[in-house]
Amino acid sequence: MARVVVDPLTRIEGHLRVECEVQDNKIVDAWVAGTLYRGMETILLDRSPEDAFYVSQRICGVCPISHSHASAQATEDALGITIPEGGRLVRNLLEAAQYLHSHILWFYHLTALDYVSPINALSANIADTYALAEAAGTRVNDFGAVAARLTAFAENGQLSILTGHYWDHPGYALPPELDLIATSHYLEALEMQAVANEIVAIIAGKFSHPMTSVPGGTAFVPTVEKLDDILFRFIRVKEFIDTALIPDTLAIAPFILDATTYGAGTGNFLSWGVFEKSSRVAEERYLPRGFAQGLAAETVSPDDVTEDVAHAWYSSGTGLNPAQGETVAKFTEYNMDDFPGESDKYSWGKAVRCKGLSTESGPLARMVVAYLAEKGGQDLTGGATGVRTPAALIDSTLEALGVAGKPEVLVSLLGRVAARNLEAAYVADLALVWINELIEALRGGDVKFWEAAETNNGSGVGAWEAPRGSVAHWIGVKGGKIDHYQIVAPTTWNTAPRDDNGVRGPLEEALIGAPVADPERPLEVLRIGHSFDP
Amino acid sequence: MAQEAHGAIYDLLAVRGVSRRDFLKYCSYVAAMLGLSEAAAPQIAAAVEKGAKLKPALWINGGSCTGCTESMAQVDSPDVATVVLEILSINAFETIMAAAGHDAEKNIADTVAAGGYLLIYEGSVMTGEDGNTLLVNGHKGTDILEEVAAGADAILAVGACAVDGGWVYAHPNPAKAIGVQSFLDTVNIKTPVVNLPCCPTSPEWIVAMVVQWLLVAEDDPATFLAKTKLRTRTYRDTVTGRDVTLNYPEYVIGSTIHDNCPRRGHFENGHFVTEFGSEEEAKGYCLYKVGCKGPQTFTQCPITRWNRSVSWCVQSGAPCIGCGGLNWVDNNTPFFKRLSSMQMGDTLGNVQPGSVAAVVGGVAAAALVAHGLGMKAAGRIGPDGPPVETAKAYDRKRMAKKGGDK
Amino acid sequence: MAGSAHYREAHPLVFVITHWINLICMIMLAFSGFYIHYPFFDGFMGVARGMHFVAMYVILINLTFRIIAAFFVKTAVDLGSREVDTDIKNWLPQEKNRHQFFETVKYYLFLRKEAVISAKYGSLQKIAYLATVPLTYLMAYTGFAIYGPTMNWGFFAGGVDMVGGPMNMRIIHYFMMWVFIVFTMIHAYLANVYNFSPSKIIFAWKETEH
């Protein structure tokens, strides 16, 4: 028996602690703790709904756009606003830009270093690297220049952000040539995530913390010159996804095939749905709303959500739907040595549950829900041409991995990694559809972007999807002032602690049964943790 | 020797397709941002390319949302890879470092032990629940900051949260968040702090200050503050109850957004956007009437702009929400109103100054009308006016007591 | 007050003119100030700001001149009197105002019947007229403290820090406008509550016998 603690779990947004009990090189128990409390919901009280749009997104600097959209939708739901078509399309484009930014950044900069060793890349043969890149169908760079840069960097003896890591871990099993390819794409992806964010900046002023998707629609009015700036950036990012992100995923996958055998999690999947269609029906979104249990689709509503605090440092009520939710902080202590014992609270995150179940959200959940919907006969894209749909992407990937017709393989660590990158491809295709739709709408004239509210009382919920999971904001407005606000942030789902019944959260569950080759150097814990992009 | 080192970096840059010319151009751009003369460019180039040893740095996240890290990833020139590979050795950078857990903690401890490093701190300092609102491997966030701050050559407090607690500090501040300078004052750590405002802060400002520090540190890190053009702001921290004086680079907070705004012409012309997404917005009219806080926000946003200078808030059609100011949420909400609301105690809620003024004015007017009717009713208004006393009441009393006035 | 004659000695021509300047400037400042606060029609911001600054400089010069003139110009010592003395003596509290503050308040609150003995200006009036001097300068100070070109001067920046930032300074500036508005309402009401003779002399320089 050994205790493995990873705190801080780095390469994530925020602060997370993972503690595992390891027996015979397998994880037998795990606790995941959010270790930061800031009190957003309390701060929003008594302010105007549009203030919530601006302030609540600041809960997360990596997915602020999704939070801002959830907040705006909550207000629109409460005050009875239907945003106009122009607003819908601009928001979809803005959200898409963030998805592409986030997925590229996640794969190359947050999780790749769990599989790729830039140090190992130093021993790559340059000619072989070109050959391998060609064989894998991935993007060719000036690999010699990258190798020279890496060499100069490494010879300096200071490894900067690569300092102090166990690069000699046996888990770093890629050939050095593939390490070099991935490292060169790591550097190029730094540029690409920034290009995606330039789209955000054009539409919403800046990233992080966008400014324009105010309740009622958008404050951004596209002009011809701005539209082509957006269009050609999307094309550039899409090209990178098709020529680097997807082929790299497929090139690395064969070396980590054991990752299909663990990291499955709870197998309950939630998607609130994201990317609005004209119908404004959440179940018809481009990535639809839905719930899945054991790859069987179900319907779902925000009313199905409850939050337990038996294991979280709050003294407020437990088992409440956020529409009635409360947040009163009360720290006790962190002590997992005798769990479950006297003091068995261990996280600043509430245990959020859907239909009472420990539920995973994020790209894997969205792709599962979309896949099931498509297989059930739903037309996700409304007949848009040139779009690779989730089912098409998943089926072709399963085929490439030699497991055609076995979608259950996806419910694993590798599946979670792949789902995110496949989703990026789908969203990149859709972005081009929307921008053309917007151009057509503008050409037809008479396209509106913003609608005023007619009342200042009501309560509502905005349930939407951030790149890393399901996000929902609940708001109550009375006399133009917020009198109730609750947020269920995307990562709250995946990094939830145990609920009142002692059932583990999705990440805790995903860790169970995972191998740990060397408890001193728990690389597998990093991989599983990062697969959720917490 | 120096010549050789120069040669090495130019070879390296050449490999990456960067010419000596491009490099010096970048350096003169940094010089301009710092308010130095162009003549300083070769000197900056020398500081940046000091081949042999990179200066160590730590990027520590407090009560942060990682937005400033994200912002840093959007830096224009030099790109972020250059910053982390060839300008600084950032031995701990929570969001992008390879190491995790004990290894990450060891990187921090080793850097602190070696000393001579730059600390970049993102996020607010969490003092609530006795400091337990931020825990990293059982250590309070405040303890970690104390440890890394004491040994640092200098600290860059990046983003509104690190400056004064940011949005987390906003009323009622349930997690008792404060800024870096305010916290260091309470534990009596004198390490120089330079604050970079906004939510998130601009990566260009961070890089400019890093270069400035490299320039100064070559010489004597202790002179960092003295050699940097600064401007100070003072505020009263409601958590610590102390007056806190903050240093900002003058180039960042030297003038208001309003004064540098490309829409300023429309402001003077009296052309305003009154509705979002309108025809007026398409024409680029001024956002003053929808609550733009540019007139009282001191940052360089319209000049530096965001995301590699492609745009910034006002350019995209949104009013400035004043995130570069102190206690920016309380001081600027409601964001779409000209004036912020006043928090009158915990129960009265937010009140707009205009509503208070209307009540005061209305009550005064009503009181005067009532008083006028009273004057009439009391018979005081007539051709001869009211009867006037023959002696002051005071004197009458004294007369009664002492038998006469004076 | 009713019953007293209003002679030109009470308000010599020079003060009639400074009073007119005050009135015009105040109207211009209030109007342009409200416009700057919230532009309620289009196309006037540049003019409004120009108006605001010009009227502000004029009223400051006028106020300063008015204070200096008080030491040189002679005004009537009492209501209905042609006897004159240096104006500043009549402006500052005098023997006749002593012990009359609370009595004056009681009179206006209908807590006593007879009007009180007073100098040319009653206790309340003198407090109000003296207070307008620092209030006007303070108003100018708060204005400069939110005005781009001057807000960074140490003298003003210190004040901004003290009140907790430029937004608070703006709110103070806004509220002080209302102090002047309420002052003007009360001033106009009390001056003219018995009859309009005070207005006739101060605006038209026209004497009346009651």
pLDDT digits (tens, 9 = 90+) for A294-314: 899 999 999 999 999 999 999
| C78-101 residue pLDDT tens | 888 899 999 999 999 998 888 889
Distance from C-alpha of A169 to C-alpha of A317, rounded to nearest angstrom: 45
B5: pLDDT confidence band, cut at 50, 70 and 90? Answer: very low
Q: Residue A515 to residues A21, A26, A249, A412: CA-CA distances in angstroms?
A: 12, 4, 22, 13
C40 touches chain B (CB under 8 A): no
- Which helix or strand (DSSP H or E) is residue B136 part of? strand B135-136
* pLDDT surpassing 60 at residue B322: yes
Report the percentage of chain A scoring pLDDT > 90: 92
DSSP A477: E
Contact A76, A52 (CB under 8 A): no
Are the Cβ atoms of C100 and B394 closer than 8 angstroms?
yes
Q: Is C72 exposed, middle or buried (0-12, 13-18, 19+ CB in 10 A)?
A: exposed
B66 and A14 within 8 Å at the Cβ level: the answer is yes
Residue in C44, C151, C171 closest to B270 by CB: C44
pLDDT single digits (tens) A19-67: 999 999 999 999 999 999 999 999 999 999 999 999 999 999 999 999 9
Helix (H, G, I), strand (E, B) or coil at B156: strand
Q: Please report the pLDDT score of residue B27 as a whole number.
A: 60
The 10s digit of each residue's pLDDT in B276-291 is 999 999 999 999 999 9
- What is the predicted pLDDT for the residue at B405? 47
Q: Which of A74-78, A499-503, C193-197 is predicted least confidently?
A: C193-197
Contact B312 A201 (CB under 8 A): yes
Q: Are B234 and C10 in contact (CB under 8 A)?
A: no
> Could you tell me the domains of chain B?
53-253 (3.40.50.700), 257-351 (4.10.480.10), 353-402 (no CATH)
Burial class (CB in 10 A: 0-12, 13-18, 19+), A372: buried
**Among B263, B288, B296, the residue to mutate for chain C (most C Cβ within 10 A):** B296
- Cβ distance A11 to B95 less than 8 Å, yes or no, reads yes
Q: Which tokens belong to B173?
A: 């501040």
pLDDT, residue B32, reads 59
CB contact under 8 A, C165 and B392: no
pLDDT of residue B217: 78
Q: What's B233's DSSP letter?
A: E
- pLDDT tens across C24-76, in order? 999 999 999 999 999 999 999 999 999 999 999 999 999 999 999 999 999 99
Contact C167 B289 (CB under 8 A): no
Specify which residues A293 forms β-bridges with. Answer: A268, A296
Q: What is residue B45's predicted lDDT score, i.e. its pLDDT?
A: 65
Cβ neighbours of C113 in B, within 8 Å: 378, 386-387
Q: What is the pLDDT of residue B35?
A: 53
Mean pLDDT of A455-470: 96
Nearest to C122 by CA among B397, B389, B371, B400: B389
The answer to whether the peptide bond before residue A363 is cis (omega within 30 degrees of 0) is: no
Query: Does the pLDDT value for residue B403 go beyond 70?
Result: no
Tokens standing for residue A446: 């008479």
Ranking A326-330, B45-49, B60-64 by mean pLDDT, the lowest is: B45-49
Beta carbons of A148 and B15 less than 8 Å apart: yes
Query: Average pLDDT over chain A, rounded to whole?
Result: 95
Query: What local confidence, expressed as pLDDT, does residue B4 receive?
Result: 42
- Distance from C-alpha of A525 to C-alpha of A443, rounded to nearest angstrom: 52
What DSSP element (H or E) covers A33?
strand A26-34
Least confident of A193-197, A366-370, B142-146, B213-217: B213-217
What average pLDDT does range B184-201 have in this prediction? Answer: 97
Q: Which chains touch A (3 or more CB pairs under 8 A)?
A: B
Residue-level pLDDT at A114:
96
Q: Do chains A and C touch (3 or more CB pairs under 8 A)?
A: no
Chain-chain contact of B70 with A208 (C-beta, under 8 angstroms): yes
* Nearest CA distance, B389 vs chain C (angstrom): 6
Instruction: Specify the CATH class of C13-204 in words.
Output: mainly alpha
Boundaries of every domain in chain C: 13-204
Residues 93-112 (B) with a CB less than 8 A from some CB of A:
93-107, 110
> Is residue C203 over pLDDT 80?
yes
Over residues B394-398, mean pLDDT:
85
pLDDT mean over A356-367: 97
Rounded Cα–Cα distance for residues C183 and C189 (Å): 10
Euclidean distance between the first and the last CA atom of chain A, given in angstroms as a whole number: 27
Which residues have a Cβ under 8 Å from the Cβ of A483 and sit 6 or more positions away? Answer: A45, A46, A476, A477
Q: Specify the pLDDT at position B2.
A: 39
Dist CA C29 CA C31 (whole Å): 6
ipTM of the complex: 0.96
Please report all neighbours of B, defined by 3+ CB atom pairs within 8 A.
A, C
Query: How long a stretch of residues is chain A?
Result: 534
Contact between chains at A209 and B128 (C-beta distance less than 8 A): no
CB nearest B15 (choices: A9, A36, A145):
A145
Query: Is C41 exposed, middle or buried, given 0-12, 13-18 or 19+ CB atoms closer than 10 A?
Result: exposed
Q: How confident is the model at residue A336 (pLDDT cuts 50, 70, 90)?
A: confident
Enumerate residues 328 to 347 of chain B having a beta carbon within 8 A of any beta carbon in chain C.
331-332, 338-340, 342
What mean pLDDT comes out for the span A447-460? 95
Q: Are B173 and A43 within 8 A, CB to CB? A: yes
Distances (CA, A) of C192 to B143, C9, C82, C187: 69, 19, 21, 8
Asked whether B155 and B119 are in contact (CB, 8 A), the reply is: yes
Extract the tokens encoding A441: 């709408």
pLDDT per residue as tens digits for the range B63-90: 999 999 999 999 988 888 888 888 899 9
pLDDT digits (tens, 9 = 90+) for A254-281: 999 999 999 999 999 999 999 999 999 9
In the block, which residue shows the tokens 């003007």? C184
Question: pLDDT value at position B406?
Answer: 46
Looking at per-residue pLDDT, the higher value among A283 and B393 belongs to A283
* A154-163 tens-digit pLDDT: 988 889 999 9
Arithmetic mean of pLDDT, B51-55? 73
Quickly list H helices, A45-175: 49-56, 64-79, 85-105, 126-136, 143-155
For the segment A84-88, the average pLDDT, to the nearest whole number, is: 96
Contacts of B394 in chain C (CB under 8 A): 98-100, 103
